[in-house]
Structure 1
Amino acid sequence: MPKLIIQNGIFITNDENKPVVEGHMVVEHGRIAFIGAELPEPPAPGDEVIDGRRRLYMPGLVNTHGHAAMSLLRGVGDDLALQVWLQEKMWPNEAKFTADDVRAGTLLSILEMLKGGTTCFVDMYDHMDQVALAVEQAGMRASLTRGVIGLCPPDVQQSKLEEAKRFARDWNGKADGRITTMMAPHAAYTCPPDYIEKIVAAAHELNLPIHTHMSETIHEVRENEAQYGLRPVAHLEKLGVFTRPCLVAHAVHLTDEEIDVLCKYDVRISHNIGSNLKLASGVARLPELLNAGVLVSLGTDGAASNNNLDMFEEMRLAALVHKGVSFEPTAVPAWQALRMGTIDGARSIWLQDVGSLQPGMKADFIAIDIDQPHLLPHSNLISHVVYSASAKDVTDVWVDGRELVRNGECKTLDEERIKAEFNACYKRLIV
């Protein structure tokens, strides 16, 4: 089988021993076969050879929390508190969404993510078959889950649960292994305790992780205490949520004791700093979480609360905001923000062979045009990726060694058709 050989490139590897390598990378059978200063053998006839000069290659970005179809609601409910935003803007509009709307919104978000260097994402939503089909078509990697809200009669609860289980069974491991699945009670404030226990039982039955929103706002924490006598962490612990591998989104409002509990159960956290800032939810205790050994990754949340899906921006915010809040310039160094956006994101969704450029790892990687004024001089390229670069600097994207974006153009999706169908859905739904 022909190899892909990138010559004369600069590679950010996420290998602690060799974080930056100048030289060549060889991809074979969808995995990295070699990376180093000198090629082990010259290219053979039929190999694809790319001149990597003026490019920086790095692992693809991993977005560990979002709702892709909510691109349809971008800008619809800005500058509002979370509960007002949900109850008055999001939920009424989302109630109108059809499967076709979810597909259109998801495809637009996938296009945005892919062209911006995100090769893998987590999605929690409804009509998830359409999301999975879009992922399969695009060639991306994703961890998908049918988000379940339990504020409904028991028969509807049961129907949603069965749908979530069916989706998880049908799609786990599909798209040549690029799709994995989880179970997802939306949040403690949208799911009664007995319903969460049923979802936990289903996760055990299917041997799947759990993904949920948790401790996003002070209001949520106080309401949980008022209703159940416990803060969200203790509440979810009592209901058995942490008996499964678990990824929680937000985790903004935590005590020292709660951080210890999350560490004890190896609960992973998706830090959604852009969304949390925009909704005035607060700033998570990231330095304390990292110091305690909690695995923290980065997520954009949906485009309705961010309002973009630029993971470079999330890395930059994570590195900058926590410096300012803590008055400590070393709170989140650039290298740590980069890991949170790449390899720690992959590990947060239990992918062990994604997130670094090393032999044996899956060839999910991106190229950045570093021959630009804002990325010169090439003094510290890890710093430049976090503090200077943006999604618009990405030129090329590969997943499983397959090129999905070339020179800024998506090769697997029809961009003009996606935009036209998306705009038609938006006008019908919102205008």
Structure 2
Amino acid sequence: MPTSCDLLLCASCVVTQNTSRETIENGAVAVTGGRIAAVGPRPALAAAYAPAETLDLGRAMLLPGLINAHTHAAMTLFRGLADDLPITTWLTEHIWPMEKRLTPGAIRLGALAACAEMLASGTTCFADLYFFAAETARAASETGMRAVVGEGVLDFPTPSARTPAEALDLTRDLFDSLRGHPRIRPMVAAHSPYAASAETLRACAAFARNQDAILNLHAAEGTTENADSLKNTGKRVIPHLHSLGVLGENCLLAHCVHTDAADHAILAQTGTKVAHCPKSNAKLSSGAAPVPAMLTAGVTVGLGTDGAASNNALNLFSEMGFASLTHKLVTGDPTAFPAQAALDAATLGGAACLGIPDIGAIAPGRHADLAALSLDRPNMTPLHNAPSQAVYAASGAEVVLTMVAGRVVYRDGRFPDLDYPALAAEVRDMARHLAGHRP
């Protein structure tokens, strides 16, 4: 007798990202209670399961939902305001002055816009480090996304906190308010070793360990960070963080552009994870992180977009393709960071970075966080190798359905939890208001 399930999701191609990286032609996924009950050929699952609903996607590629391992969601409000500038000019003359005008309401609107953008391009989960983090958590919850959010802790005043102590108080409040939430988790977010003192970094690390939570910070992104760290601490950035007890299995470092073999050995030894943000690093001329060398050393790497002010998009399909091509170009090796490695970083790598082992693959027991791409688009025809097509050919515009915990949160340009035209109008008004205050 067939087993009952909530949903049978069918597609012409299922890219599982399971341990054998299996791709199933004419596949199906059975979903019960928001989790994957089974995955396999459609005829076999149709015979084995009696679903309450069957959703046939036709000529589509079904993938695990993509995982954005590093972003600042509300910076959608700053998209296109300051482009093609040196990073110091970009930060000090444009971004930081604008951030002083941010309010909880602005953060919520910017984060809602980011969630819509990510869902429309197949991202189901993101890690966010910014200000008024409770508003980003609220936006993710309202749109049905999965997220890990943290309040930025810095040694100078931010839009939400005058001191690092105040920022840590907001972090405690965030942990209290999100306790038990099914999809949104808090993390500790120390901004960086150049914006947070040794004392602040130690306090953040201790809090994260006590809460068994992720500790997220930027590290070794800019071209002068190692030289500045040597001057101020006598150590390069990664050894400095290691000496403070910051690194470890729960630590996620964003960027790590300017790292060497000794740094990679420390990262691998401590189990520290890295969020690779190639497009942002290229746009700001920060450089290309040596990700192939990190992977060889045993470092876990996820893929992030960074914020929409330094990337201009929150699209992981674009990020995967750019990452793979960048490393081939930089190394002169066409086998460096192949399509499968890029897809791994955007799925399984992101899951490991965020400490959520039950996402990132289409496998029994995992959350039913899924994305479907139309294979009827000209750029998706013909299909010879699904992972390669997802990385090198897909733009993200092919996404026709995004699902989180077994629930459809985006389909064919529509969001069940959002009045998107109304949101877009509010976001445009808020962006104009913030831009009007520019010095």
- What TM-score, normalized to structure 2? 0.94
Letter in 2 for 1:163: L
Change in Cα spacing, 1:141 to 1:234, as seen in structure 2 (3 Å) is same
2:90 aligned counterpart, secondary structure: helix
Q: Is the 8 A contact 1:269 1:297 kept in 2?
A: yes
Q: Is the 8 A contact 2:70 2:127 kept in 1?
A: yes
Q: Is the 8 A contact 1:145 1:168 kept in 2?
A: no
- Are 1:131 and 2:132 counterparts? no
Instruction: Output the aligned Cα RMSD.
Output: 1.8
1:377 aligned counterpart, secondary structure: coil
Letter in 2 for 1:29: G
Q: Work out which of the residue numbers 183, 195, 205 in structure 2 matches 1:200.
A: 205
- Any stretches of 5+ residues in structure 1 without a counterpart? none
**How many residues are matched?**
429
Instruction: Look up the match of 1:347.
Output: 352
Distance 2:45 2:428 in 1: 50
Deviation of 1:361 (Å): 1.1
- Are 1:35 and 2:39 counterparts? yes
> CA offsets per residue over residues 230-272 of structure 1, 9 Å max, x none?
1111111111111561000000001211110000001000000
Q: Is the 8 A contact 1:5 1:43 kept in 2?
A: no
1:160 aligned counterpart, secondary structure: helix
- Are 1:254 and 2:259 counterparts? yes
Deviation of 1:43 (Å): 8.5
- Are 1:402 and 2:427 counterparts? no
Deviation of 1:135 (Å): 0.9
Instruction: Look up the match of 1:168.
Output: 175
Letter in 1 for 2:244: L
Deviation of 1:44 (Å): 7.7
- Any stretches of 5+ residues in structure 2 without a counterpart? none
Q: Which structure 2 residues correspond to residues 375-414 of structure 1 after superposition, within 5 A?
A: 375-414=380-419
- Are 1:289 and 2:299 counterparts? no
Q: Work out which of the residue numbers 15, 20, 28 in structure 2 matches 1:24.
A: 28
Q: Work out which of the residue numbers 88, 102, 106 in structure 1 matches 2:111.
A: 106
Distance 2:7 2:16 in 1: 17
1:63 aligned counterpart, secondary structure: strand
Q: Which structure 2 residues correspond to residues 76-87 of structure 1 after superposition, within 5 A?
A: 76-87=81-92
Letter in 2 for 1:31: R
Q: Which structure 2 residues correspond to residues 273-288 of structure 1 after superposition, within 5 A?
A: 273-288=278-293
- What TM-score, normalized to structure 1? 0.96
Change in Cα spacing, 1:228 to 1:18, as seen in structure 2 (3 Å) is closer
2:408 aligned counterpart, secondary structure: strand
Deviation of 1:201 (Å): 2.1
> CA offsets per residue over residues 121-151 of structure 1, 9 Å max, x none?
0001111111111111101000111111112
Q: Is the 8 A contact 1:10 1:52 kept in 2?
A: no
What is the percent sequence identity of the aligned residues? 36
**Structure 1 consecutive aligned stretches of length 4 or more whose deviation exceeds 4 Å:** 40-46, 152-155
Distance 2:218 2:116 in 1: 25
- Are 1:369 and 2:371 counterparts? no
Letter in 2 for 1:21: I
Q: Is the 8 A contact 2:122 2:396 kept in 1?
A: yes
1:305 aligned counterpart, secondary structure: coil
Instruction: Look up the match of 1:5.
Output: 8
Q: Is the 8 A contact 1:200 1:244 kept in 2?
A: no
Distance 2:90 2:40 in 1: 50
Distance 1:252 1:79 in 2: 19
